[in-house]
Amino acid sequence: MLIVFLRAIILYAVIIFCIRLMGKKQLGELQPSEFVVTIMLSNIATLPIEDSDIPLSMGLIPILTFVCIDVFFSYLSLRSQSFRRLICGSPKVIISGGQLDQRTMKELRYTVDDLMAALRTQQVFDISEVQLAVVETTGQISVFMKKGSQPLTPEDISLEKPNADPPMLIVNDGEILSGALEGLGRDSAWLESVLKSEGVTLGEVLLMTSDGSSSTVIPKKRYRRGGEDSP
Amino acid sequence: MKRNIAALVLFLLLILVSAGQLWLLGRTTERLTAIISECEKSVNSDSNDLDERLSELAGYWEKYYRTASFLTRSDSLNDMAADVSRLRSMKDGGELAEELRSLRTRAELILDEQIPHPESVF
């Protein structure tokens, strides 16, 4: 039992390291090769845990090998378009000029149900509103709506709105995030004055967002770190 | 770029470790088979140093077992461990030479299983 326990800890740390080495990707945005590596990592990692007769190295070596190969392939994909096409394929246009490309659908083995489900995940419920739809190499579908179906923007009604960055998180659970104030062009004196005007101390702030102007959002903590209600 | 370098270093390390494990197992097996051969010679020549040879074998067996079980998954190791512990009792019977031969063959097989022959890779 102790062996299994220790192996579980080691493999957990190794998997975390591997995921970090491979880089940040959402599960739904993995390329085929990355998807394969992720699935295989999880399967291989369980082998030395399930069977303590298997040396730990029999799990670690293939895991680390897959990760290294994945990193190399990612680098090669970045450098060579043909390599990228070989490993990841290329996006396919499935709706063009408002017309459904049935041949591409057949090539992709995309059924009507698959198409409609993919469109619905993009909040499209009427296929006639789609100008262009592309099936990405990750399997996700990207949709460009017809002009008449696109959401109205301030530009459409000749309303000028200045460009601005979104609000940033400045305080997280009572702690100031490094670089956040500098990013907004503010300093700690400004932060103190804002907190004072809101009648809170830094330790009472659950989170604070701001776009650098007077617009701030400051929910207070309800629970202290021990889980008890704050007074 | 840092990620690529880290992956490259890790990859080279993996190659070194894998090859190193095979080399270590080879070296340990070679030493074990040498000691077994010495024991066989003593048995065949009815020499007085047979006890000493068997003690040497029993002593080296621990090291071999630890190394081999760390590097391989072989069901033979436990059987071999049981056989090594019975060697002294076989001294007076006629089975000692046969048992030593069997031990050597199994140790060589364990090493051979780890060598990447095409038929074992595919």
**What does the pLDDT look like over B62-121, one tens digit per residue?**
999 988 888 877 778 888 888 888 888 887 767 888 899 999 999 999 898 888 878 777
What is the average pLDDT score of chain A?
Answer: 84
User: What was the pLDDT predicted at B34?
Assistant: 94
Q: Do B14 and A58 touch (CB under 8 A)?
A: no
Q: Where does chain A hold its CATH 3.30.240.20 domain(s)?
A: 92-149, 168-217
Quote the minimal CA–CA distance from B16 to chain A in Å: 11
Q: What percent of chain B has pLDDT over 90?
A: 34
Identify the three-state secondary structure at position A229. strand
Cβ atoms of A50 and A98 closer than 8 Å: no
- What CATH class is the domain A168-217? alpha beta
Question: Which residues partner with A143 through β-bridges?
Answer: A133
φ, ψ of residue B81 in degrees (nearest 5): -60, -40
Quick check: A16 pLDDT over 80? yes
Name the token pair of A5: 């326990």
Nearest alpha-carbon partner for A116 in A136, A97, A143, A90: A143
User: What was the pLDDT predicted at A26?
Assistant: 53
Name the token pair of A231: 């007074």
In tens, the pLDDT along A43-88 reads: 898 888 888 778 888 889 999 999 999 889 888 988 888 888 888 8
Name the token pair of B85: 């512990």
User: Domain segments of chain B: what residues?
Assistant: 22-114
Mutate: best of A37, A57, A67, A68, partner B, most B CBs <10 A: A68
Give me the residue from B7, B69, B72 closest to A71, CB to CB: B7
Q: Do B6 and A21 touch (CB under 8 A)?
A: yes
In tens, the pLDDT along A126-162 reads: 888 899 999 988 888 899 988 888 888 877 788 877 7
User: Which residue, chain included where needed, has tokens 């299983």?
Assistant: B113
Q: Do A21 and B7 touch (CB under 8 A)?
A: yes
Quote the minimal CA–CA distance from B13 to chain A in Å: 10
CATH topology of domain A92-149: CRO Repressor (3.30.240)
CA atoms in the 13 A half-sphere facing the CB of A195: 20
Greater confidence, B117 or B36?
A: B36
Give me the residue from B3, B11, B69 closest to A23, CB to CB: B3
Where does the pLDDT of residue A227 fall: very low under 50, low under 70, confident under 90, or very high at 90 and above? low
* Neighboring chain B residues of A69 at a CB cutoff of 8 Å: 11
E-strand stretches of chain A: 92-96, 99-100, 130-135, 141-145, 168-172, 175-176, 207-210, 216-217
Name the token pair of A41: 């990592």
ipTM higher than the 0.90 cut = no
Q: Does A76 touch chain B (CB under 8 A)?
A: no
d(CA B75, CA A53): 9
Where does the pLDDT of residue A180 fall: very low under 50, low under 70, confident under 90, or very high at 90 and above? confident
Quick check: B35 pLDDT over 90? yes
Where does the pLDDT of residue B32 fall: very low under 50, low under 70, confident under 90, or very high at 90 and above? very high
